[in-house]
Amino acid sequence: MSAPPKSSLRSRFARARGKNVDLIAQGRAPGRGWLGGAGLFTSGRWSKDEDEGAAEASPEPTPASCEVAEPPAAKSGVRARAKKPEGRPSMPSLPTMASDLRSVRRRSAIVGGLVITGLLGMGYRAWDIGVHRHADYAAQGNRQQLRTYTLEASRGNVVDRNHISMAVNDRLDRIVLNPRLIRAHDREDEVLAFLLGMYGPDKADYIIGELERDKAYRRLRLPVDDDMVAAIREAKLPGIRLEQEPHRVYPRGSLAAHVLGRVNAQGQGNLGVELGMNEDLAGRAASSPAYYAAFGGKGTKLLVDGHPDHGVSRGRTVVLTVDSAIQAMAEEEIDELVRNWHPVGASVLVLDPETGDILAMVNRPTFDPNHPVASASQTVNLAVQRAYEPGSTLKAITVAAALEQGTIRPDQTFFCEEGRWQYTPRHAIRDTKRKGWLDVTEILAVSSNICTTKIYETLGKESLYRWIRRFHFGERPEVQLPAVSKGLVADWHKWSDIQAANVSFGQGMSASPLQVAAAFSALANGGIYNTPAIVSQVIDADGQTIWERSADGPEGERIVRRATADTVLEMLTAVVHTRDGTGKKARIDGYEVAGKTSTAQKANPEGGYFEDQYYASFVGAVPADDPKLVILVSVDNPEGGHYGNQVAAPTFSRLGGRALAYLGVPRDDESGAVPETIAIAEDAPELVDGFLADADVQPPLPGKRVVEFTTGLPDFTGLTLSQAMAEAEKAHVHLRATGTGLAVGQSVPPGPVQPGVEVEVHFEALQ
């Protein structure tokens, strides 16, 4: 009687689990039975009570005793034959012997014929294979054994402008199963127990599914730590081994996540610079023919020609324009903004106006490229992918266009209609503050929509459109990032009168934060537009620079004359440093700031604008007389406030002060400063002529600035990067950071130093 077929691994596991569920959670030690004890599953074997129901074999029936019957009595008249004596065979007759001899000869002839026929067939087959069809069979053998072996290239690194690593390569241990080999050795139960001892019963369905596949190679997508590696090597179970796979690591975590992006499971970029520069980073793989032969149950490849790495080109190193120290400051400041205002989203950009280099690009929400993303919204790079109505920040462009074209004078005045102007029979334009006659500087300071419209009218629709396009609005920036928005600027022929007026103060069009920051940088750079960039160099595996971004510099695109740009920039200082200015909270102690606030209602996709949803933003250049930085802060629908000065300007102020100290930019002796015993009061809203406005603060007094210089350089040992930068700011020294982790050394020893000295601090990760 045959045994019943063996049940599946999954059903055996389910029955055992049902009998002793509690023990599953106890048997965690690798190599031990995860259902140890209780007679269920020990030492990798199912116990008798878990057998597949094989019935006990019944004993073979014992034959009954048979009596030997006597022969029947002889019939009358017939003599009974005498019984032959036992043990003496009878002699065959001569005719019988002759017949048997003929049968033997006949059988021998048949067998001999078959043997000869077989030998002839084998000979023919050998001739057919070895001679006649040798070429065909040789080609077939090559096709079966000769395969293409792909040699993957190592992906290039991504580093910041100071060559601090931002994205590097590592190798991860993975468990590889050979389900066919495991079944051939009848070790499925033992391997399952071993793996569940490491990962627990929650992974049972996944692991069983892999073990039941009719495959010789299955890589488990489960984490492997050092203890697991040691356990696998010690266990030496058939069909289970370790294999290393390439792994992309972002040592700074979520820092600059939207700039860096991430790679997919195949190691190819799918976000950020990883995607935008994928061709350079990925390198070039090579293919080589190889014979595969099985040795010890493993496939061994024997390369036909060439060295294994023949033709492989390692990925190139991409050098970013980003300064990871300024990026870290921006990340900290935007986190503070988010804690205070709980917006839907926010972006911060820091640009060098002289080169167009993007020194920092930060967005919230964000993600850590080392880990899976919880929501797709976390990966959206709002700074370049989101287009919004820029609002009042565009007023600086309208004024610059009119000054450059000569349709207005800097000292020209316009009547602001006391806050309300019936522009068309159906549309009125309103201002937050009720004002009468104002000059151009005052118009920018109080951010008058009405008077900006009157300035636009000196240009006309077509000229305004052309000037907006000259500042590269409606054009996709050529930055090395994917899915960059070009915004929207409708053709001027399609503008109605009210639409043209709206465009002059930043409504009825859209632009990304990067476009706004780049246009403002042109004003900060003496009227020269430099294309914004996130990549500065590409370096090959031999350390040779094969591409370098040459900053446009003086050869960049001139948009307006230097005199015009300088005039507008000087006017914009009134936004921050005068009593009626809308951007007083953007002040930075020791520096003069030129900037512009914006509080723009969010457009409703179904038409019109939301009544209670806003974009609050501030963009500024500092120091105003020789800008080193342009910083833009944009906030989407903050809670508890919506004015640009209220929400965005404080972040500009804090970040600007920290970044200028880090860069070692001298403080401006001509800017206002805090008097000896008087601090700047916190801005508070007040009613001016029935409208909500910002209260004034006491203006700083020239020449009375209190600057407290620290004469001692601290010991940075053991500090994080952000802590070290904070200490460097207090000491008024320029910190240059290398490496990641905690500070382990510095180029200048602790002690007295001159303000502004540069100190290099090296950071290392804890082991």
Question: How many whole angstroms separate alpha carbon 586 and alpha carbon 629?
Answer: 14
pLDDT value of residue 153 = 78
Q: List, for residues 170-194, the tens digit of each pLDDT value.
A: 888 999 999 999 999 999 999 999 9
Answer yes or no: is pLDDT of 31 > 70.
Answer: no
> For 296-355, what is each residue's pLDDT tens digit?
344 445 545 545 555 667 899 999 999 999 999 999 999 999 999 999 999 999 999 999
For residues 359 and 327, the answer to whether their CB atoms sit within 8 Å is yes
> How far is the C-alpha of 47 from the C-alpha of 39, rounded, in Å?
6
Q: What's the rounded Cα separation, in Å, for the pair 320 and 316?
A: 13
Give the chain's mean pLDDT. Answer: 81
Counting Cα atoms < 13 Å in the Cβ hemisphere of 367 gives 20
pLDDT of residue 611: 87
Percent of the chain whose pLDDT exceeds 70? 76
Domain at 712-764, CATH class: alpha beta
* pLDDT for position 165: 94
Least confident among 194-208, 458-472, 738-752: 738-752
Residue 110 pLDDT class (50, 70, 90 cuts): confident
What integer pLDDT is reported at residue 633 of this predicted model?
Answer: 99
Q: What is the pLDDT of residue 701?
A: 31
Amino acid occupying residue 228: M
Task: List the single range of 31-40, 251-260, 306-315 with lowest mean pLDDT.
Answer: 31-40
Question: CA 347 to CA 333: how far, in whole Å?
Answer: 11
Amino acid letter, 99 = S
| pLDDT grade for 692, boundaries at 50, 70 and 90 | very low
Mean pLDDT calculated for residue range 381-399: 97
Q: Which residue has the tokens 């030129």?
A: 594
- Looking at the chain, the whole-number percentage of residues with pLDDT higher than 90 is 56
Which of 134-138, 668-672, 696-700 is modeled with the greatest confidence?
A: 134-138
| Span 697-713, average pLDDT | 38
pLDDT band at 763 (very low <50, low <70, confident <90, very high): confident
Alpha helices in 289-323 (DSSP H): none
Query: How crowded is residue 514: how many other Cβ atoms within 10 Å of its Cβ?
Result: 28
Higher pLDDT, residue 79 or 587: 587
pLDDT at site 762: 85
Contacts of 170 (CB under 8 A, 6+ apart): 246, 247, 248, 249
Q: What is the pLDDT of residues 400-453, one digit of tens each?
A: 999 999 999 999 999 999 999 999 999 999 998 999 999 999 999 999 999 999
Residue 383, pLDDT > 90, answer yes
CATH class of the domain whose range is 146-173+243-314:
alpha beta
What does the pLDDT read at residue 50? 43
Higher pLDDT, 570 or 131: 570
Alpha carbon distance 665, 100 (integer Å): 121
Residue 150: beta bridge partners? 287
Higher pLDDT, 288 or 435: 435
pTM of the model: 0.71
Query: What local confidence, expressed as pLDDT, does residue 288 receive?
Result: 61
Confidence of residue 291 (pLDDT cuts 50, 70, 90): low
pLDDT band at 706 (very low <50, low <70, confident <90, very high): very low
Of 536, 108, 501, 178, nearest to 356 (Cα)? Answer: 536
Highest-confidence segment of 92-106, 446-460, 705-719 = 446-460
Rounded to an integer, what distance in angstroms lies between the CA atom of residue 345 and that of residue 562?
36
Of the candidates 456, 459, 559, the residue with the CA atom closest to the CA atom of residue 504: 456
Average pLDDT over residues 188-204: 93
Is it the case that residue 74 has pLDDT exceeding 90? Answer: no
More confident residue, 678 or 561: 561
CATH architecture of the region 324-667: 3-Layer(aba) Sandwich (3.40)
Per-residue pLDDT at 22 exceeds 50 = no
Q: Comparing 223 with 711, which gets the higher pLDDT?
A: 223
Could you report the per-residue pLDDT of 511-547, keeping only the tens digit for each?
999 999 999 999 999 999 999 999 999 999 899 999 9
Phi-psi label, residue 297: left if phi above 0, alpha if psi -120 to 50, beta otherwise: left
Asked if pLDDT for residue 606 goes beyond 90, the answer is no
Choice between 215 and 766, residue whose per-residue pLDDT is larger:
215
Confidence of residue 682 (pLDDT cuts 50, 70, 90): very low
Q: Which one of 98-102, 107-111, 487-491, 600-604 scores highest in mean pLDDT?
A: 487-491
3-state secondary structure of 763: strand
Pairing of strands 535-539, 317-320: antiparallel
Highest mean pLDDT among 100-109, 115-124, 394-403, 681-690: 394-403
Task: Considering only residues 500 and 65, tell me which one the structure prediction assigns the higher pLDDT.
Answer: 500
Q: Is the pLDDT of residue 681 over 70?
A: no
Distance CA 399, CA 405 (A): 10
Domain boundaries, the chain: 1-51+179-238, 146-173+243-314, 324-667, 712-764
**pLDDT class of 393 with cuts at 50, 70, 90:** very high
Torsion angle (degrees, nearest 10) of CA 72, 76, 78, 81: 30
**pLDDT(210) > 90:** yes
Question: Which range, 115-119, 673-677, 725-729, is most confident?
Answer: 115-119
pLDDT digits (tens, 9 = 90+) for 44-56: 444 434 444 444 4
Give 136's pLDDT tier (boundaries 50, 70, 90). confident
Dist. CA 592–CA 588, nearest whole Å: 7
**Residue 80: pLDDT band with limits 50, 70, 90:** very low
pLDDT of 734 reads: 74
pLDDT given for residue 75 in this prediction: 42
